[in-house]
Structure 1
Amino acid sequence: MTAQAASGPARRARSDRRNRQRGLKRFLPRTLFGRSILIIVTPVILAQAVATWIFYDRHWDTVTNRLAFGVAGDIAMVIAMLEHNPTPEGREWVLATTARSTDLIVTLEPGTPLPETKPPLRGLLERTLGKALEERVGRPFAINTRVAREWYEIRVQMAEGTLSVMSPERRLFTPTSYIFILWMIGSAAVLFAVAIVFMRNQIRPIKRLAAAADALGKGRDVVNFKMEGATEVRQAAAAFLQMRERIQRQITQRTEMLAGVSHDLRTPLTRMRLAIDMLGEGPEVEELMTDVSEMEAMIEGYLAFARGEGTEAVQPADLTRILNEAAAGARRDGTEVHLSVEPSMTLPLRPNAMRRCIANLLVNAGRHATTAWISASRQDGMIEILVDDDGPGIPANMREEVFKPFFRLDSSRNRETGGSGLGMTIARDVVRSHGGDITLDDSPFGGLRVVIRLPV
């Protein structure tokens, strides 16, 4: 009990950690390009931000303080000189000397006191200047930044009146901090642009490899594909080309084997049929003829299966036309078919293979139902084809089994009288060779629903 109680908080901690990780992943880019840019740019931006902050902080601690204390020192010197020589002649000499040797404009307003309520110091520069005036001057003061553009007015209370000092902004402020920040932002922008160009060139071979793999998965030809990019990407491309060759070689060998065996079996079957015809009539002869007919149907199934893996080229085809032709063929065989499709749905297909796929599904429906319904529509970048019937259906636990070659359900609708047991296998093989899939479900008409999803 103690171990279980201790494991509870540990499990909750692990669960919370996984939830935090999933929450963080929601904010990360989903593409390799975006993540690569993030990996390259983030450390640089952080380094520049730290450098900018350090420079900015040290700049205000040294340069700005030094400028502010310089202005405050000049004001303190002027006040000391005025108090040392308070005569009108001495006052004029001090003000004239200050105007010649400094950038300050100093005037004395006798009998004018400072207002009791001083405006608060706003901003870092005003606070730095205020600190310098408190240390160097040590008298009541007020700072006004709105008296003129690019000028600061500093009013200091003296015994005989108020000393007004106009200081140009350049004596209190230097634009080097802004220049540095702009330089850092500009260099970061240049780095970001270079990273984008570089990463696009590196990602392009990966995207081409992904497109080639997607085309191969959809059964389309991969043309003009060549190995390029970094060493790892070239290795992946070489492995892809080898895989494509092995798949094509395996398909070709299986196709040739099935076609050859099926063709070779036709000759002895033909001789057997002729021999049975010469035996006359009787129950035994009819049973033998039924077995031969079933073997011939199986051979035709072999050949159809082989042709489904053949070399038919993928080309733009009108799926609506293929469905109409398959429905017309099923109607000729006696199956009632209701068709509801969008007009002119064109997509890359192997037309004969897809026509065989739909025909197999309708033949299978016709053997076990009286009516079939076909519908096709575009949904979420895919084309969905539904084939419904009103037959007995297939149990849910056996629906995957019916796609196995030669599999039959003894007491269900999948017992294909006269068939080879390859109809559903061929249908799935054709659909998957186009990059889609085929599944089975319950039909709203009481029978089986076949769902085909094809990429556009």
Structure 2
Amino acid sequence: MESPPVMDSAQPRWRRVRERLVRRILPRSLLGRMLLIGFIPLLATQAISLELFYGHYLQVVSRRLSGDMATTISMTLDMLERYPAPADRQWILEDAGRRAGLVMTLHAGESLHRSGSNHVLGPIDEDLAHDLQAAVRWPTFVDWKQAHHRVVIAVQTPIGVLQVVALRKRLVVAPVWLFVAWASGSALLLFLIAALFMRNQVRAIRRLARAAELFGLGRDTVPIVPEGAQEIRKAAVAFNRMRDRINRFVEQRTTVLAGVSHDLRTPLTRLRLSLAMLPRAGRVEAADLQPDIADMIGDIGEMEHMIEGYLSFARGEGAEMPAVIRVEDMFEEIVATLRRMGAQAAVRSITPAGLSITGRPNALRRVLSNVAENARRHADRIVFSAESGRRQVVLYVDDDGCGVEEARREHVFRPFESGAAGGTGLGLAIARDIIHAHGGHIGLESSPMGGARVRIVLPV
């Protein structure tokens, strides 16, 4: 068999590296990505316009202005060479300077010590230096630093140095920073306007997500008001309809289960009354039947207990409204109940003091009661503790029993798995159902006391 090519194994690795790099660079929020989608084309448009305007149009204009200046100086030098008389030269310099808007001065007998340009403005002064070299056959020097608003051009001639002073605005079309500031300012203004509109759209999505999260945690809220774009409004309307259908389904199920509970308890109550009135024949027969009747009454009581557990498991605690609960008060209530039943229970620590959670009070008490009842059947001591984490509260129930094997820790939360010690096998299943309805998690761990630890995580 031929081995697969190296690129087949390297390509997925490169794809994973690329995706990881993109995830690190790109913003995670929808608002950030929408702003990035709007900002990158805007930035590219401004960069292209800057390049087209300053990279092409202004360069053409700059070359034309530089060429005109070089031509004027070249013509003046030709006139000076043709008319060497001092009076004629003075008249030529004055007339050419007046017509061209320049100040021309001839320094006879002097020499030029430097040539080229001191290069301040980049392509503009480079164009001027290049055009001067092409139009004038003698060395030249362009000084951009001698005066703030003027440019001094010196040309070495056989009779001396010709100095030409021109206004800078005759060679510079417009300040580069002015166009850059205008482009950047307009881009920033448009970006801020786009960010404002995008933020309003994302705010509607965030409200929809928050309402869905609260509904999933059982903290039912009022229907959200559709706002934002048309698609977001449709999603909000669909969410409100789904919420109403789910609430209506839960209400109908609760009503049906309440009727089932009544219908099942009625014949059991009649059986109990019939058994209570059964031993009427004789003392001997009554004495013989008494143990059997007591067993049947016990079976009826166990059936009622099992039916109540089944209904509680199926019904849940969906009709109860969430409220703020102090963890210490809830622990103390469960501990008092356990002590009345003869168990050794205590509250170890709550960090920080006064820790509170939001949830359905009766449902959470039922969870702790079921967990504590399960621990009471297998251990002697039960200890409650709680701590606050990052956007969550963790509740612990520890015991000193035999513990639960790691392979069975997930199975004990299934229905009818934990009823070997006298229970119905639904207590932990009901507890997990309630915790999941609160958006939390429940699991088993090894306890520092040597037994089992039930760890309950609830979102804040």
* 1:297 counterpart letter in structure 2: H
TM (norm. structure 1) is: 0.91
Are 2:350 and 1:346 aligned?
A: no
The answer as to whether partners of 1:294 and 1:420 remain within 8 angstroms in 2 is no
1:434 corresponds in structure 2 to: 438
Answering whether residue 376 of structure 2 is matched by residue 366 of structure 1, we say yes
The alpha-carbon deviation at position 24 of structure 1 amounts to 1.3
Equivalent residue number for residue 452 of structure 1? 456
Of 334, 346, 356, the residue aligned with 2:342 is: 334
1:42 maps to a residue whose letter is I
Q: Equivalent residue of 1:393, what SS?
A: coil
Q: 1:321 aligns with which of 329, 339, 347?
A: 329
1:203 aligns with 2:207: no
Q: Which residue of 1 aligns with 2:57?
A: 59
Matches within 5 A, 1:271-290: 271-276=270-275, 278=279, 280=287, 284-285=292-293, 287-290=295-298
Cα distance between partner residues in 2 of 1:360 and 1:44: 61
Is the 8 Å Cα contact of residues 116 and 129 (structure 2) preserved in structure 1? Answer: no
Residue from 417, 421, 427 that aligns with 1:408? 417
What is the deviation of 1:373?
2.2
* Preserved CA contact (<8 Å) 1:390 1:447: yes
Aligned-pair distance for 1:422? 1.8
CA contact (8 A) 1:382 1:454 kept: yes
Matched, 1:385 2:395: yes
User: Which residue does the alignment assign to 1:262?
Assistant: 261
- Map 1:113-124 to 2 at 5 A: 113-115=111-113, 120-122=118-120, 123-124=122-123
* Contact kept? 2:440, 2:459, Cα under 8 Å: yes
In the alignment, the residues of structure 1 paired with residue 345 and residue 269 of structure 2 have an alpha-carbon distance, to the nearest angstrom, of: 35
- Report the CA distance shift for 1:393/1:290 in structure 2 as closer, same or farther (over 3 A): farther
- Cα offset for 1:177? 4.9
Q: Which runs of 5+ in 1 are unaligned?
A: none
CA drift of 1:117 comes to: 7.2
Moved more, 338-347 or 176-185: 176-185
Give matches, 1:54-453, under 5 Å. 54-115=52-113, 120-122=118-120, 123-175=122-174, 177-276=176-275, 278=279, 280=287, 284-285=292-293, 287-302=295-310, 304-305=312-313, 308-339=316-347, 340-341=349-350, 342-405=352-415, 407-409=416-418, 415-417=420-422, 419-453=423-457
Q: Secondary structure at the match of 1:156?
A: strand
Q: Give the secondary-structure state (helix, strand or coil) at the position aligned to 2:184.
A: helix
In 2, distance between residues paired with 1:433 and 1:210? 17
Q: Compute the TM-score of the two structures, normalised by the length of structure 2.
A: 0.90
Structure 2 alignment gaps of length 5 or more: 280-285
Indicate the percent of aligned positions where both proteins have the same amino acid. 41
93-102 or 282-291, which moves further after superposition? Answer: 282-291
- Deviation (angstroms), 1:404: 2.6
Q: Any idea what the Cα deviations from partners look like across 1:152-196, whole Å, max 9, x if unmatched? A: 111111111111111211011011654443332233122212211
Corresponding residue pairs, total? 448
Bigger drift between 114-123 and 382-391 goes to 114-123
- Deviation, structure 1 residue 219: 0.4
Residue 392 to residue 219, structure 1, CA distance change in 2 (3 Å): same
CA contact (8 A) 1:258 1:302 kept: no
Cα distance in 2 for partners of 1:125, 1:65 equals 8
2:326–2:354 Cα contact (<8 Å) kept: yes
Q: Is 2:117–2:125's contact at 8 Å kept on the other side of the alignment?
A: no
1:348 partner SS: strand
CA contact (8 A) 1:251 1:309 kept: no
| Root-mean-square deviation over aligned CA pairs | 2.3
Which one-letter code corresponds to 1:393 in the other structure?
G
d(CA) in 2 for partners of 1:150 and 1:369?
Answer: 95
